[in-house]
Amino acid sequence: MVKRILVSGASGLVGGILIEHLSKNPNYDIYGIDKHIELSIRYQLENTPISEGQQPILPPKEKFYVCDIIDKDKLSHIIQDNKINIIIHLAAVLETETVEKINHINCNGTKILFDIATKQEHVEMIIYASSVMTIYGYLENEPYSSLLKNIRPQEALKKITLNDPPIPSHLNPSFEAYCMSKIYGEKLARQYSSTDGNVKFVCVRLGWINTTDDVTSDLYDWSDKSVWCSHRDLCQFFDRVLENQLKMKQFQIYFVSSNNDYCWFDMDNGREDLNYVPQDGAKWNET
């Protein structure tokens, strides 16, 4: 049976990567929503050259909807009319926005989507794009803070597990608000999964995904490189989740990155549950 998959935040970097990849699979029928059709702001933030006329990778126009995540009525119609089975929820504003906007879109928007989706009998699973930034507060203390200073740790780092509490970064109010919005989204997913037995929730604590899909530049420090996730590994992980949908628990959280040196969080459950084995990785070469 072909699964109808809706990607929110379809114009974003991760949205484009996944839409391009999943659209090649005949088992999936891909739909998308976003409030705009411009390229992700990440291209600007990372100073990535953009060719003239370059556009985001979107589903066909009859399967893409310009829709704000907080537009309850339109969002409900899109999910219901297209009988969506799986939602990949990527829509969010970045840590560069105001605290108010982060809370409005990332928190309120996520609640609206979860509330609508769990009331539709054809929705089977929601994959929520959380972030490794849920634990960025650990980088503010040793031994993890050495990565921020580009100092090579003297020994392997004790890995943060799902049993360790999420701790947001306190870098600045917007950064902290973004971290907290992802922590809130996970709590919300757990809450909906326990009150609604029909929809499975998978929270994906994504590592850093960059526009160039490369981390060899000295411009990147090891707080970035240690959490980097290649486009190939991103797609592999989502393949594994979708392939194992029937086996998935009602609620689960996974850390997802590539096989980086000094990765400081535990991805064992992804390997055990889904056979997710990263193919790429950032290496701290001797100089």
pLDDT in tens, 168-220: 999 999 999 999 999 999 999 999 998 867 899 999 999 999 999 999 887 78
Domain membership of residue 284 (yes or no) is no
Average pLDDT over residues 264-281: 97
Q: What's the pLDDT tens digit per position in 70-120?
A: 999 999 999 999 999 999 999 999 998 999 999 999 999 999 999 999 999
Domain membership of residue 95 (yes or no) is yes
> In CATH, what number is assigned to the domain containing residue 129?
3.40.50.720
Domain membership of residue 279 (yes or no) is no
* Cα–Cα distance measured from residue 184 to residue 199, given in angstroms and rounded to the nearest whole number: 18
In terms of pLDDT, which residue wins out, 155 or 224? 224
The per-residue pLDDT for 7 is 98
The per-residue pLDDT for 287 is 37
Domain membership of residue 99 (yes or no) is yes
Prediction pTM value: 0.95
pLDDT at 47 over 90: no
Average pLDDT over residues 119-139: 97
Domain membership of residue 283 (yes or no) is no
Q: Which domain holds residue 250?
A: 3-274
Domain membership of residue 261 (yes or no) is yes
In terms of pLDDT, which residue wins out, 44 or 283? 283
Domain membership of residue 281 (yes or no) is no
The per-residue pLDDT for 196 is 65
Task: Give the chain's domain count.
Answer: 1
Question: How far is CA 70 from each of CA 56, 155, 260, 284, rounded to the nearest angstrom?
Answer: 22, 46, 36, 42
Question: Mean pLDDT score of the chain, rounded to an integer?
Answer: 93
Domain membership of residue 156 (yes or no) is yes
The per-residue pLDDT for 52 is 67
pLDDT at 51 over 80: no
Task: HSE, CB side, 13 Å, CA atoms: give it for residue 144.
Answer: 19
The per-residue pLDDT for 220 is 85
Average pLDDT over residues 217-244: 94
The per-residue pLDDT for 46 is 80
